[in-house]
Chains A and B, each alone.
Chain A
Amino acid sequence: MTILHSIDELKNQFDTDVLNGKPDKDAFEEIKRKYTSRKGKIAELFAQLGSADPDIRPEAGKALNELKEYITIKLDGLSAVVSDNTEVTAADQLDLTLSGDPFPVGSIHPLTKVIEEITTIFTKLGFSLAYGPEIDTDFYNFEALNILKHHPARDMQDTFYVTDDVVLRTHTSNNQIHMMENHDPPIKVIAPGRVYRNEDVSVRSYCLFHQIEGLYVDKNVSMADLKGVLNYFAREFFGKNVKTRFRPSYFPFTEPSAEMDVSCYFCSQNGCNICKYTGWLEILGCGMVDPEVFKSVGYDPDIWSGYAFGMGIERMAMQRYGIEDIRMFYEGDIRFLRQF
């Protein structure tokens, strides 16, 4: 038997030893000792190399070195598996079903969620975010919006007064006037905010709520543009299969004015309590900016045109999450808040 045979045999023997399943730690140490220790099989063969036939010595030397490297690499790889096994054993002794340290889950208010969802949709369309004061003068909340004193349109919104001339804004539409006063056209903003109405608190109404106002002023803006943007919004917010309906309405600061309804997504227009069996949900008011509004901020209505829209957040959040009592939004009930 030549040394070359012995090298081959040793390799086979090693493979058999190693391939025999995953060795446990002791078995691994045993194998390691058997082959790589100073008195191990490899060393044994190296010792024999000197007495080998000189003709095959170079070949045998090369083969033996290769085997040594082969075994070292194999054992190295194996050592990782062996140590893994040891850790698994250690873990078995720790009950990891014991509860971890508590890091309570917080939550973002449902109204914030709806506001953020809506503003994200509009900012994609190039709308900037703007804000205006909650307490404002009669001029900004009413007069400049063509809601004249002693007009029945004032009855549309029950108003809280600070003085005869200072009110809690009844809508975010005051932002339209602030924006146009402070910026030259073109303007493209949405303005979320808190508004107040002097209405009795009940399941369906509260003394305050939140709105998002939209305003776009540029040259040659048309009602078709308004419909395009709001239909896009509706598809993004309510789903791509939503249907919309625009119907004439009245707001003193838009002309023409419209109300946008979306198809009831609870009953697919088969009729339900939420849409009061009409198949439609009233979502927002909108229209083309009235020339009187442009005049009150010094824009020339023959040059500029635009559209505006406004929507109530609470109603949308109530529909979206199935909240039946509007007061839940403002109680701060942790059991309510943590669900969002």
Chain B
Amino acid sequence: MEISLNWLKQYCQISLPSEEIEKGLTLLGIECTHDSQSLNFTDVVLGRVIDCNPHPESEHLSVCVVDMGNEENYQIVCGAPNVKKDILVPVAKVGATLSDGDFKIKKAKLRGVESKGMICSGKELRLNGDHEGILILDTQLPLGTSIEKVIDFNCDTIFHLDITPNRGDCFSHQGVAREVAILENVLIQQKQLSMVESGLGISEQMKIDILALDGCPRYTARIINGVKIGPSPEWLIEKLTSIGQKSINNVVDAANYVLMDMGHPMHTFDLDKLSSKHINIRFARENEKMVLLDEKERELSTDHLLICDGDLPVALAGIMGGLQSGITEDTTNILIESAYFDPIVIRKGAKKLDLSTDASKRFERDTDIENVIPAMDYLSQLIVELAGGHISQGIIDVYPDKKPQTKISLNLDKCNNLLGISLTPDELIQILDKLSISHEKYGVNLICLIPTYRNDLTREVDLIEEVARVFGYDNIPESKSFSGSFLSFIPDLHNLDGKIRQILSSNGFSEHYSNSLLLEKLNHHFSDKPGISLLNPLSNEMSVLRNSILPGLLSAVAYNEKRQVKGFKLFEIGAIHEMNQESIRLSDEHFYLGMVWHAHSVLHWRKLPDPDLFQVKGEILKTLRMIGLNDISFQSDEVTGLSKSASIFSRDTQIGNFGELSPIRKKEYDIAGQVFVFQANVDILTKLIAKNKLQYEPPSLFPAVTRDIAILVKKNILSEDVIKSIFSLGGNLLKEVTLFDYYEDPSFGSTKKSLAYSLKFQSSDKTLKDKIVDKLITKILQQLKQQFDAIQR
């Protein structure tokens, strides 16, 4: 909201500089910045016309000689009809600027006569609108004095306020003046009205019934007869434009002015268009239609409150007037509506139509039910001043259930304890007085009577905030100690995330945060679990919540590839969501770890191996071991979106999977290079690790015996199965089995492969004899032959 300093001055003496007001309001909770308006000219000085003769070539121009206090006098050609000898005038010297610098005064020849400067009008100096003639001054100041020292230009300051939703009372100059008065330590002056009523009584011209009291607890009206619609006077236009409002005509401007001044939205009807002379306030019927002042037809619902002429809607209460009954150039008789509407009713209505107006904004934030009549009286007086006419006798005030003024009991100790301060009773009372909150003692408490414009104050704690606000948050001391209780400690369920981040970032992975709102299609790429869609997405591209951690990572891969970045590794830890109709929040949330490898051969003089699935597998295994998981196994498996993929288990629990991104997906993400991915459910990892108990085993004191075996098996035999079989026979003595050679050769035939394993045996209590180991090896080879048809090489 824009607030004019000059306007505020109508309410209270302001001695603080604008910077202090800005700071003070901000520290009172009204965020504020300000713009000081400045003069629109430079180098305009006081001069005296010491000679004035007609221009030889033009009858509209005069050739003057002007004394500006220098030794030299200047010849200036002037076109104003009121220029004459021996007057004091504002003179723009050569080099001066006008119109905020747009217009520069230069030496010139006008119809052949040299002119060094310009004598200015009131309008040119933005002093007033007068452009008929030059400004004639009366002053004792010496010639050559800067004109801003001669005339008080009264430059305004505009404050831009950011008003929080609880402070509806600050949506006016009067309201802001009350806050400024706290800073100035004064009270605001109340308006003195001198309204004259005459002629017919209002109740003889109009009848008003409220049929929806819950929407409209109070409705008042006045009638003004015989107005003449016309332009607004200069001062009013200036006031409205200073705070960014447009001038329309005198009556509309008057209503707008009072709105900005006193904060209560009112509506003016053309009385002659209210044919039934009977206003009814009722809720709209479903699908009822009306055309509003913006000339658009709106379809209404039963949430909308209507002002009706008989039964015909003429205004959408508290939001916008109807087109048909509005003020036009031909209006002569006016009905002023000043009502109090329920904030929730207005908000619902405005939201439904997605229509927010100056009126609805204020009613939504709640208005002062007792301000209804003062605002209407002021508007009536102003309309008569600006547009003539006379105010009908009396007022209609339908207000069946008078709203009682709020009383709050305030306890000083409670206030001091909550804020951590130590106000004395007198200090508290001083603060309440500044807020115009009257009070009386009741035992140890104060019973506070809340001004009707402060609808936001309903509880003791609200009053305590008011006290803190005026006391100054910065004056509340800061505790030098902190307290706690062992009872408040809870375990960190995401402790693992940090560990994973450390491990992966130490191993060349960069952490990524991706947008968890996705194009719907992407939720089918790596999961068949239904995702969560938004009712009101920003765009189609962000219409669902991710059900997999991979799309975001792959989008980042594509992003980097397009920027010629190759051979990188990314990871992300974040929430994914799956639809669950059983849950009250409709979703199951899981934390996932995703890792991607953008494979690219490394440019290096040592000719390092190209990254492949086995490098990736090793990296996954290392990561899982680092976080504390042993017993990891891999099982070839079909995974949505991947080719050459495997599921990963810790004992019997599946924790995730990995593989190479399928060619179809690569195309969909527009990725050219080879990409490997891994994903794991971090919630599951966390649970598994919590169950893991470390148990120390002393290293053996006896030497180990190593034996190698090489076998020929069919290609479909899995190495993992061979190893399991070897271990099952090796017993306690077999400590390690390492595949150290894998070989395919035409000489084995196309269906066979050679596998070579190194077996390490060791006993914890004796030196192993060759005989024992040889026996075991024989048993193992027999078993492999039986189980896998393995031939020893």
Residues of A within 8 A of B (CB): 98-99, 101-109, 111-112, 116, 125-126, 128-131, 133-137, 150-153, 155-156, 160-164, 166, 168, 183-184, 186-189, 194, 196, 198-201, 206-208, 218, 220, 222-225, 227-229, 231-232, 245-250, 255-258, 278, 288, 290-291, 305, 329-335, 337-338
B168 to chain A, nearest CB (A): 8
Q: In this assembly, does B710 line the interface, its C-beta being within 8 Å of a C-beta of chain A?
A: no
Is the CB–CB distance between A137 and B602 below 8 Å?
no
A284 to chain B, nearest CB (A): 14
Residues of B within 8 A of A (CB): 26-29, 31, 33, 164-167, 344, 347-348, 351, 364-365, 417-421, 459, 461-462, 464-465, 468-469, 473-474, 476-485, 487-494, 498, 501-502, 504-517, 532-538, 542, 545, 552-553, 555-557, 559-560, 563, 565, 568-570, 574-575, 577, 584-587, 589, 602, 604-606, 608
Is the CB–CB distance between B477 and A224 below 8 Å?
yes
Is the CB–CB distance between A248 and B468 below 8 Å?
yes
- Report B-chain residues with C-beta under 8 Å of the C-beta of A153: 165-166
B319 to chain A, nearest CB (A): 14
Instruction: Choose one: B476, B559, B574; the contact of A227 (CB below 8 Å).
Output: B476
Measured CB to CB, the nearest residue on chain B to A276 is B33
Is the CB–CB distance between A106 and B506 below 8 Å?
yes
- Report A-chain residues with C-beta under 8 Å of the C-beta of B559: 331-333
Is the CB–CB distance between B493 and A258 below 8 Å?
no
Is the CB–CB distance between A126 and B484 below 8 Å?
yes
Is the CB–CB distance between A168 and B534 below 8 Å?
yes
- Report B-chain residues with C-beta under 8 Å of the C-beta of A255: 459, 461-462, 464-465
A224 to chain B, nearest CB (A): 3
Is the CB–CB distance between B26 and A247 below 8 Å?
yes
Is the CB–CB distance between B482 and A225 below 8 Å?
yes
CA distance A164 to B534 in the complex (A): 10
Measured CB to CB, the nearest residue on chain A to B421 is A224
Is the CB–CB distance between A223 and B418 below 8 Å?
yes
- Report A-chain residues with C-beta under 8 Å of the C-beta of B166: 153, 250
Measured CB to CB, the nearest residue on chain B to A160 is B534
Is the CB–CB distance between A332 and B478 below 8 Å?
no
Is the CB–CB distance between B473 and A194 below 8 Å?
no
- Report B-chain residues with C-beta under 8 Å of the C-beta of A188: 484-485, 488
Known contacts A249-B29, A250-B164; A135/B536 CB under 8 A: no
A126 to chain B, nearest CB (A): 4
Is the CB–CB distance between B481 and A228 below 8 Å?
yes
CA distance A7 to B197 in the complex (A): 140
CA distance A111 to B502 in the complex (A): 14
Give the interface centre of B29, B351, B481 by most chain A CB atoms within 10 Å: B29
Measured CB to CB, the nearest residue on chain A to B558 is A332
Is the CB–CB distance between B586 and A163 below 8 Å?
yes
CA distance A55 to B515 in the complex (A): 99
Instruction: Choose one: B165, B491, B534; the contact of A162 (CB below 8 Å).
Output: B534
- Report A-chain residues with C-beta under 8 Å of the C-beta of B587: 133, 135, 162, 166
B20 to chain A, nearest CB (A): 14
Known contacts A152-B165, A186-B488, A224-B419; A229/B482 CB under 8 A: yes
- Report A-chain residues with C-beta under 8 Å of the C-beta of B602: 102
Is the CB–CB distance between B418 and A112 below 8 Å?
no
Give the interface centre of B479, B480, B493, B532 by most chain A CB atoms within 10 Å: B479
27 contacts between A and B (CB under 8 A): A106-B504, A106-B511, A108-B502, A112-B501, A126-B484, A128-B488, A128-B489, A131-B494, A152-B365, A160-B537, A162-B535, A166-B584, A186-B488, A189-B490, A194-B575, A201-B538, A206-B515, A208-B516, A227-B478, A247-B26, A247-B31, A248-B473, A250-B164, A290-B461, A291-B459, A337-B510, A338-B510
- Report A-chain residues with C-beta under 8 Å of the C-beta of B545: 134-135, 168
Give the interface centre of A151, A199, A278 by most chain B CB atoms within 10 Å: A151
